[in-house]
Amino acid sequence: EFYPKPTISLSPSGELAPGSDVSFYCHGSRSRVRFRLYRAGVALRHTEPASSTAEFRIANIRREDGGSYTCLYESLTEPPSVSPHSDPIELVVAEFYPKPTISLSPSGELAPGSDVSFYCHGSRSRVRFRLYRAGVALRHTEPASSRGSYTCLYESLTEPPSVSPHSDPIELVVAEFYPKPTISLSPSGELAPGSDVSFYCHGSRSRVRFRLYRAGVALRHTEPASSTAEFRIANIRREDGGSYTCLYESLTEPPSVSHPSDPIELVVAGRSRLPPAQAAQGELAPGSDVSFYCHGSRSRVRFRLYRAGVALRHTEPASSTAEFRIANIRREDGGSYTCLYESLTEPPSVSHPSDPIELVVAEFYPKPTISLSPSGELAPGSDVSFYCHGSRSRVRFRLYRAGVALRHTEPAGSTALEDRGSYTCLYESLTEPPSVSHPSDPIELVVAAGP
């Protein structure tokens, strides 16, 4: 003898996310009977409610809970009277949890060395969160400190885990340079030769390396524990006078570097300051060619060129004007230049030195351009070449991905999914300390995710 067929329903209905709670309701035509729940024909559980409807609740469902469910009911007597199975109902469990959201604090462009926190918010608790940069998983305990595109996801602690899709990406923008420091000197004003003077360079970071420059030429460096460095010069001489700047850089390789400070002038009595009309001769890029022209009132004389009071070279032209040409200038060529002329007789008759002129050599080469071939979206395993074009030859080029330097001798080979991301390049002289270009504008390498 069979009871009438029951009906089965579930709540909530539709496609459910892993971790959801769901209830099956089996409704028969009798009360005080035993209800049984089946998945794919296999009995799972039973209950004996007082009414004609039974609830079967499944908490925290997993993908393997999905499938076709039926129910039946039977009398409590022996042998029991049993109903047919209900029509089946399908429990559909989504492959993924809902997509999380990602945010970072603080936002905006950050200085190198800043601390930043990423926040990943999902729809489930007691799950594992993962952080990715440019599609590459970071250790979940690893601090994220590099520029680039970040996403996150979360997954259940079960095996195999139920996983959410990646969040929409968020960009961590790290400035190429630290903020500009300030420079001061004590005592200030015009100082007598033999005085002691201290330069103070104040930056926005501690545990960094500070460098002091005069007329673009590096003089010394120090690594104080605080964010202020003192450079002391004892017993100053007239040739110590001039324009000083400072900068600071991280102790990592390659270092993150600040912009130079605004210049400050050290005035030593007996040394003329540059007149305003000659202080703006124009800034030249490292590697440029420059000519100094010294014009006197006599021909067939010897002309001499000086930098910071030190004789560099001489020439004996037939005319009353001499050219002193310096090819491929470096930062240390910057400074204050004068010239004079003298007769070829012995002892010579000598002119007064000219008024000084300032040669200003930029801290950086012009920005290069970067391109890649082939362009567009590439399949994993493709070969790709990056081309970095600068304004100088016989220099060292460097390639960066997401702000991280790659080996400058590293060849471009078969691409993998983790190679995708934002690339820049720069170039630098082979001298020490090197003259460095600004980084190129970024170019994106897009690698298809594959089948």
Using a pLDDT cut of 70, give the percent of the chain over it: 90
Record the pTM: 0.36
Q: How far apart are CA 238 and CA 369, in angstroms?
A: 43
Q: Of all helices (H) and strands (E), which one includes residue 310? A: strand 310-315
Q: Is 264 exposed, middle or buried (0-12, 13-18, 19+ CB in 10 A)?
A: middle
Q: Give the domains, in start order, of the chain with CATH numbers.
A: 7-93 (2.60.40.10), 101-172 (2.60.40.10), 177-268 (2.60.40.10), 276-362 (2.60.40.10), 365-447 (2.60.40.10)
Least confident of 172-181, 198-207, 314-323: 172-181
Q: How far apart are CA 55 and CA 59, in angstroms?
A: 13
Least confident of 61-70, 139-148, 333-342: 139-148
Q: 191 by DSSP, 3-state: which?
A: strand
Reported in sequence order, the residue ranges of 15-66 that DSSP labels E, i.e. its strands, are 15-16, 22-27, 34-39, 42-47, 53-58
Residue 406 has pLDDT above 70, yes or no: yes
DSSP 88: P
Q: Which residues pair with 27 in a beta bridge?
A: 7, 53
Q: Is 385 exposed, middle or buried (0-12, 13-18, 19+ CB in 10 A)?
A: exposed
Q: How far apart are CA 432 and CA 331, in angstroms?
A: 10
User: What mean pLDDT comes out for the span 265-288?
Assistant: 59
86 vs 421 pLDDT, higher one: 86
Q: Provide the pLDDT confidence category of residue 416 given band limits of 50, 70 and 90.
A: low
pLDDT at 413: 46
Q: How far is CA 440 from CA 38, 148, 194, 370, 443, in A?
A: 65, 16, 46, 6, 9
